[in-house]
C-alpha cells in the first residue's frame, strides 16, 4: 500500500521542487554577475585573515565559499546567455542612470 501512495505523491513532490528551483533561478537572475566574483574574492581574503590569526577551522570553512560562489556565478551567466539576456548593470548604468 505504501508504494502506491509514494508513487502518487512523487509527481507532486517533483512539481514542488521545480517550483522552488524556479524561485531560486529568479533570485539568481536579480544578482549582478560581478557580485559572485567579488564575494569569492572576499571569501578568499577573509580566509587568509582567519588563517593568519590561527583560526584554521574557520579559515577552511570561509575559504570553501569561493568555489561555490564562482559556480553560482557561472551558472547564472550561462542561464543568461541561454536566454539571450544581457548582463545586468550593478547600481548604475554607463550614463549614471539607475536601473
Q: Which three cell numbers stand for residue 44?
A: 578568499
Mean pLDDT of the residues in the chain: 81
The C-alpha cell 517533483 sits at 14
Confidence (pLDDT) at 24: 81
- Residue 7 in this model has a pLDDT that exceeds 80: no
Q: Which three cell numbers stand for residue 45?
A: 581574503
Confidence (pLDDT) at 3: 57
CA separation for the pair 75, 21 (Å, rounded): 13
The C-alpha cell 574574492 sits at 41
Confidence (pLDDT) at 76: 85
Q: What pTM did the predictor assign?
A: 0.61
- Residue 99 in this model has a pLDDT that exceeds 50: no
Domain spans of the chain, in order of start: 1-30, 32-83
Q: Which residue has the higher pLDDT, 48 or 76?
A: 48
Amino acid at each position: 500500500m505504501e508504494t502506491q501512495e509514494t508513487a502518487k505523491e512523487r509527481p507532486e513532490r517533483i512539481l514542488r521542487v521545480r517550483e522552488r528551483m524556479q524561485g531560486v533561478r529568479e533570485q539568481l537572475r536579480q544578482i549582478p554577475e560581478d557580485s559572485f566574483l567579488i564575494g569569492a574574492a572576499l571569501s578568499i581574503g577573509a580566509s587568509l585573515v582567519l588563517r593568519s590569526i590561527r583560526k584554521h577551522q574557520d579559515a577552511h570553512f570561509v575559504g570553501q565559499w569561493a568555489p561555490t560562489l564562482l559556480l553560482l556565478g557561472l551558472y547564472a551567466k550561462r542561464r543568461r546567455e541561454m536566454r539571450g539576456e544581457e548582463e545586468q548593470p550593478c547600481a548604475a548604468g554607463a550614463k549614471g542612470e539607475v536601473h
